[in-house]
Amino acid sequence: MSGIIWLPIIIVAFGVLAYRRSPLATWTGVAAVLLLGVQLTGGGLSLLPWIVLGAVGVLLNVKSLRRSVLGKPIMKWFKSVLPPMSSTEKDAIDAGTVWWDAELFSGRPNWNTLLRTPRAELTDEEKAFLEGPVEELCRMLDDWKINHELDDLPPEVWSFLGKHRFFAMIIPKEYGGLDFSARAQSEVVMKIASRSGAAAVTVMVPNSLGPGELLMHYGTQEQKQHFLPRLSRGEEIPAFALTGPWAGSDAGSMPDAGVVCKGEYKGKEVLGFRVNWAKRYITLGPVATILGLAFKAQDPDGLLGQQKDLGITCALIPTDTPGVEIGLRHDPGGAFMNGPNTGTDVFVPMEWIIGGQAQVGNGWKMLMDCLSVGRAISLPALGTAGGKAAARMTGAYARVRRQFKIPIGRFEGIEEPLARIGGVTYRMDAARVLTATALDLGGKPSVLSAILKYNNTEGMRQAINDAMDVHAGRAVCLGPSNYLAQTYQTVPVAITVEGANILTRSMIIFGQGAIRCHPYVLKEMLAAADPDEQAGLKAFDDAFFAHVGFTISNLVRSLVLAVTGGRIAPAPDLGPTSAYATRLTRMSASFALLADIAMLTLGGDLKRREKISGRFADILSHLYMASAVLKRFEDDGRPEEDLPIVRWALDDSLAIIEERLDGILRNFPVAGVGPLLRPFVLPLGRRFRGASDQLGHNVAKLLLSPSATRDRLTDGLFLQRSEEDPMGLMELALEKVIAGEPVERKLAKAFGASVNTVNMDAVLEKGVAEGVIDAAEAELVREAMDITTRAIAVDDFPGVEKKDKSAGQEAA
Ligand SMILES: Cc1cc2nc3c(=O)[nH]c(=O)nc-3n(C[C@H](O)[C@H](O)[C@H](O)COP(=O)(O)OP(=O)(O)OC[C@H]3O[C@@H](n4cnc5c(N)ncnc54)[C@H](O)[C@@H]3O)c2cc1C
């Protein structure tokens, strides 16, 4: 047999080995068989190829030899290119756990892992809380009044929150807390947020990263016994102060310092810190009774030991302590409490350090460890609430609002934003629930929490912007009946807090993901840093050669799966969405390949290449969000009617992933790498262009009428069937308008184009008189018109009131 015939056999054989991630020994064996075959079928027997194969085989398979000949110099090189990492960066990377994100990084996600995970459900107690105190709270909230008249929650709401332990959802029962699951916390925040952002933020903060969370994990027994019951009962209002004028995103660079000294506390001389700080933007700060404060501990006089810079430290400081100045309030566009505070020479006894003296200097690690849980719950729930409210109200508005004699939702131009709202909201909700599931399984998924925070707040921004455009003037003019503008105004808060979004996308998601979720990179880094050189070399060598095999495998898998459209990838039976799972598997392989090549060729420089890192972040995000969509559809029992929204969300995610892969290849910072890899990543060019117009039409249609799909999509919102409530009014208007439509069609058929809202009364009379419709039908249309008039109305205010306001400002 000639070489021409053997070449494809060799390529296929090695391709199969790479695709299947076969061990090195199998590669060597197969190489020997192939060599024998080549020689026996005419290549001629020759010793040299056997010597070469034998030498390579021994070198790679005999680990002790491989380590000393290859592993050692490679590890030396690896150490030299490893970017320097500050201790704060290291703590951030070490923090938390990984889950499905690691599967997505593997290039070969095992879908059964995801699909077999039972969805987190609510307990009876949690359901009762949602149906009881949460509903009652929502009925007490008047967001217009809160934001435009009171500039605060009413006193009765504050006491209701304390009485029903809304601030203690994360605190264990033994300390008087509610000890709710992540899923329950998410549902509570989502429902409150659908009623009032200010109330939701007020509830979120004590249940996110802050004194309660830190005390539970790191507090001393005495601190827990003292503070947790008081926090549970709402007797203490906590705030957490990390950010200052000079340290925002780069919180670790804070200038706030505490110097170890002796001072008087409870009549005795004790060790503590003399702390000075200036913080800003602190939520609940203006009303806080205890301040969780992060500062840098210093010990210039060596009172605690040799070390002078002890590191970031967290303390709990009563706000009535001498030297603490709780300043005025910021105005972040919502009425929740937020403001600056300072401390001047405040004596903080060691007893106030969270966890006591043993935890001095561990503050950053504590924060990073605890950040992921709250970040994965509160803001993602708030973002989803924004999407759900936008979906429900915009669909209704687009049906009741007519221009050019038809509901505006029937215009193709309006279908586009409607479809986006529906698809993005479904995706956010699916990811919200999936991540709560991961948390309830005991995980602290740091990368997923960043993905959720970023995508669900950006999703909310998208949905609210679209909703504003569809409502147009109805959403622009402020007033009690405007259910959108307040959310629109406070969207930037969600975008900014707990890791501002640009930073989260361009630095954190992939920066942390590449190390934490990658199957080998962290192992290599830890091995290279191991002070026991022998153990380090052994671990490094194992990880490195597995890593090489992993990269080669992903090269082959990326190509093969791209050419076959992912069809040959094993996928569970997902019915109508099976093909999406295989496409995502294909994208996962391409992502893993590019991620490896980027790390290999850019090394530490990748950190600065935020445009590349941001695209990787989008790919990982959408791999995750799309997985969540698949899981949600399965968990819901594959309801056929939801398929348009599911497909829209998945098509959109695939298009974004592919566009970002293309962007990485086009912009790869090392010359030649992009063109070289393109045939392995996008051999057939770009195939996914997002949802079709027809699919968008189908999604928009689902939002325009009451249905089980619409209810599932917006489940968990606070809704009242009351004309007194602006959202309730719109909902009732939708029902009436739909009920009246068949009557209008009869009239249109009988009287043609002369039917419109301006002459409707006359048309109705004529219709009844001529027997086209009966009196009851005429009444239906009148009612629909009447309620629509009220639902589309905007608020107006006496001009004099405005004059007074500005006069007041001038006087002030
Ligand atoms: C309403 C509100 C409530 C808050 N509540 C609290 C609280 O309770 N406690 C608390 O401690 N803090 C709180 N914060 C502070 C919040 O966490 C910070 O605002 C946030 O960390 C960003 O800091 P900054 O506003 O100073 O922006 P900066 O850090 O100045 O960032 C400005 C921009 O630069 C981007 N950026 C920064 N670094 C990078 C980078 N390396 N790569 C790419 N982009 C980058 C950011 O994404 C942002 O877009 C709150 C803020 C607000 C507005």
DSSP string, 319-357: TTSTTEEE------SSSS-EEEEEEEEEEEEGGGBTT-G
Helix (H) or strand (E) holding 651: helix 643-667
Residue 514 to residue 511: CA distance in whole angstroms: 6
503 Cβ inside 6 Å of ligand 1: yes
Cβ atoms 19, 570 nearer than 8 A: no
Rounded mean pLDDT of 97-122?
A: 95
Atom of ligand 1 nearest to the CA of 249: 29
Spatial separation of the C-alpha atoms in residues 92 and 365, rounded to whole Å: 7
106 vs 94: CA distance, rounded Å: 19
Ligand 1 center–CA 493 separation, angstroms: 10
* Rounded average pLDDT over 647-674: 98
Work out which ligand 1 atom sits closest to the CA atom of 499: 21
- Read off the pTM: 0.95
Handedness of CA 471, 475, 481, 487 (dihedral sign): positive
Picking from 205-214, 314-323, 462-471, which range would have the lowest pLDDT averaged per residue? 205-214
Q: How does residue 808 score in pLDDT terms, banded at 50, 70 and 90?
A: very low
Ligand 1 touching residue 241 (CB < 6 A): yes
How high is the pLDDT of residue 810? 45
pLDDT of 809 above 60: no
Element (H, E) at 260: strand 257-265
Average pLDDT over every residue of 664-668? 98
The protein residue whose alpha carbon is closest to atom 4 in ligand 1 is 281
User: Which residue, among 708, 677, 193, has the nearest Cα to 464 in the 3D structure?
Assistant: 193
Structure tokens at 495: 């975008």
Q: Which residue among 461, 497, 505 is best mutated to probe the pocket of ligand 1, counting the most ligand atoms within 8 A of its Cβ?
A: 497
Q: Which of 74-78, 129-133, 674-678 has the lowest mean pLDDT?
A: 74-78
CA 774 to CA 47: how far, in whole Å? 101
Q: Whose CA is nearest to atom 42 of ligand 1?
A: 503
Residue 2 pLDDT greater than 70, yes or no: no
pLDDT confidence of 95, banded at 50, 70, 90?
confident
Which pLDDT score, from 0 to 100, does residue 117 have? 96
Three-state SS at 121: coil
Q: What is the pLDDT of residue 802?
A: 53
Report, as an integer, the average pLDDT of 227-252. 95
Amino acid at 231: L
Q: Which residues pair with 318 in a beta bridge?
A: 290
Rg (CA), the chain: 31
Distance 137 CA to ligand 1 centre (A): 30
Mean pLDDT calculated for residue range 732-748: 96
% of the chain exceeding 90 in pLDDT: 89
Q: What is the pLDDT of residues 685-709, one digit of tens each?
A: 999 999 999 999 999 999 999 999 9
Greatest CA separation found in the chain? 106
Q: Which of 681, 568, 714 is closest to 615 using CA atoms?
A: 681
Going 532 to 535 to 537 to 539, the CA torsion angle's sign is: negative
Strands 290-298 vs 257-265: parallel, antiparallel or unpaired: parallel
Work out the average pLDDT over 538-567: 95
- Verify whether ligand 1 is closer than 6 Å to residue 454 (CB atom): no
Q: Closest Cα to atom 23, ligand 1: which residue?
A: 248
Residue 609 beta carbon below 6 angstroms from any ligand 1 atom = no
Ligand 1 touching residue 654 (CB < 6 A): no
212 lines ligand 1 (CB under 6 A): no
Does the CB atom of residue 243 touch ligand 1 within 6 A?
yes
Question: Predicted confidence band at 374 (pLDDT cuts at 50, 70, 90)?
Answer: confident
Tell me the percentage of the chain whose pLDDT exceeds 70.
97
What pLDDT is attached to residue 756? 67
Q: Closest Cα to residue 334, out of 464, 193, 208, 239?
A: 193
Count CB-CB contacts under 10 A for residue 90: 15
- The dihedral region occupied by 191, where left means phi > 0, alpha psi between -120 and 50, and beta the remainder, is alpha
Catalytic entry in 126, 351, 458, 498: 498
**CA pair distance 575, 114, nearest whole angstrom:** 16
Atom of ligand 1 nearest to the CA of 294: 11
Q: How confident is the model at residue 811 (pLDDT cuts 50, 70, 90)?
A: very low
What is the spatial distance between Cα 418 and Cα 414, in angstroms, rounded to a whole number?
A: 6
- CA–centroid distance, residue 497 to ligand 1 (Å): 6
Rounded-to-integer distance, Cα 795 and Cα 141, Å: 19
Point out the ligand 1 atom lying closest to the alpha carbon of residue 492: 53
Does residue 507 line the site of ligand 1, with CB under 6 A? yes
Q: pLDDT at residue 755 above 70?
A: no
Q: Cα(29)–Cα(56) distance, rounded to whole angstroms?
A: 12
Q: Please tell me the distance between residue 250's alpha carbon and the centre of ligand 1 in angstroms.
A: 8
The residue to mutate among 89, 213, 243, having the most atoms of ligand 1 within 8 angstroms of its beta carbon, is 243
- Three-state secondary structure call for residue 795: coil
- The β-bridge relationship of strands 268-283 and 257-265 is antiparallel
pLDDT, tens digit, for every residue of 424-447? Answer: 999 999 999 999 999 999 999 999
Is the confidence at residue 812, as pLDDT, over 60? no
Closest CA to ligand 1's atom 40: 503
Ligand 1 contacts CB of residue 338 (under 6 A): yes
Inter-residue long-range contacts of 522-527, CB under 8 Å, 24+ positions, other chains counted: 522/93, 524/78, 525/82, 527/75
Residue 733 near residue 396 (C-beta atoms within 8 A): yes
**Residue 496 C-alpha to ligand 1 middle, in angstroms?**
5
In this prediction, residues 600-623 reach a mean pLDDT of 94
Residues 222, 224, 229, 233, CA torsion sign: positive
Rounded CA gap, 333 and 506, in Å? 26
**Atom from ligand 1 closest to the CA of residue 242:** 11
- Of 123, 146, 248, 243, give the one whose Cα is nearest residue 192: 146
Ligand 1 centroid – CA 498 distance (Å): 7
Is the pLDDT confidence value at 804 over 70?
Answer: no
Q: Is 249 in the pocket of ligand 1 (CB under 6 A)?
A: yes
Q: What is the pLDDT of residue 807?
A: 47
Protein residue with least CA distance to atom 31, ligand 1? 249
Measured distance CA(206)–CA(188) in Å, rounded:
14
Q: CB–CB of 638/575 below 8 Å?
A: yes
Pocket test for ligand 1, best of 204, 240, 249, 504 (most atoms within 8 A of CB): 249
pLDDT at 579 (0 to 100): 95
Distances (CA, A) of 730 to 193, 396, 542, 701, 722: 18, 7, 63, 17, 9
User: In degrees rounded to 5, what are phi and psi of residue 17?
Assistant: -60, -45
**466 band by pLDDT with thresholds 50, 70 and 90:** very high
Beta strands at 324-326 and 338-349: parallel, antiparallel or unpaired: antiparallel
Residue 494: CB within 6 Å of ligand 1? no
Quick check: CB of 610 below 6 Å from ligand 1? yes
Q: Say how far apart CA 438 and CA 434 lie, in whole Å.
A: 6
Residue 66 clears pLDDT 70, i.e. is over it: yes
Residue 156 designated active-site: no
Six token digits for residue 783: 């009612």
Confidence category of residue 373, pLDDT binned at 50, 70, 90? confident
Nearest CA, atom 50, ligand 1: 281
Task: Name residues whose C-beta falls within 8 Å of residue 24's C-beta, 6 or more positions apart in sequence.
Answer: 60, 61, 545, 549
Substitution site in 203, 207, 281, 611 for ligand 1 pocket (most atoms within 8 Å of beta carbon): 281
Q: Which residue has the higher pLDDT, 191 or 572?
A: 191
Q: Tens digit of pLDDT for each residue in 481-539?
A: 999 999 999 999 999 999 999 999 999 999 999 999 999 999 999 999 899 999 999 99
CB atoms within 10 A of CB 285: 25
* Tokens at 447, concatenated: 């990368």
Counting beta carbons within 10 angstroms of the beta carbon of residue 320, is it exposed (0 to 12), middle (13 to 18) or buried (19 or more)? exposed
Pocket residue to mutate for ligand 1, from 319, 338, 503, most atoms within 8 A of Cβ: 503
Question: What average pLDDT does the chain have?
Answer: 94
| CB-ligand 1 contact for 336 (6 Å cutoff) | no
Partners of 270 in beta bridges: 263
Residues 6 or more apart in contact with residue 655 via CB below 8 angstroms: 688, 689, 690
Ligand 1 contacts CB of residue 613 (under 6 A):
no
Residue 782 structure tokens? 């009148």
Question: For residue 283, which phi and psi values (nearest 5 degrees)?
Answer: -70, 135
CA dihedral (437, 441, 442, 443) positive or negative: negative
When pLDDT is averaged across residues 564-592 and rounded to a whole number, the result is 93
Question: How far is 434 from 469, CA to CA, in rounded Å?
Answer: 30
Q: Are 138 and 191 in contact (CB under 8 A)?
A: yes
Q: Which residue has the tokens 């068949």?
A: 742
Looking at ligand 1, which atom is closest to the CA of residue 239? 8
Beta-strand ranges (E) seen in 385-466 are: 402-403, 406-407
Q: Can you give the pLDDT at residue 273?
A: 98
Determine the 3-state secondary structure of 311 from DSSP. strand
Residues 591-604: tens digit of each pLDDT: 999 999 999 999 88
- Beta-bridge partners for 402: 407
Tell me how far apart the terminal alpha carbons of the chain are, to the nearest angstrom: 97
DSSP state of 168: G
pLDDT higher than threshold 80 for residue 93: no
Under 8 Å CB-to-CB from 690, ≥6 apart: which residues?
Answer: 651, 652, 655
Cβ atoms 208, 378 nearer than 8 A: yes
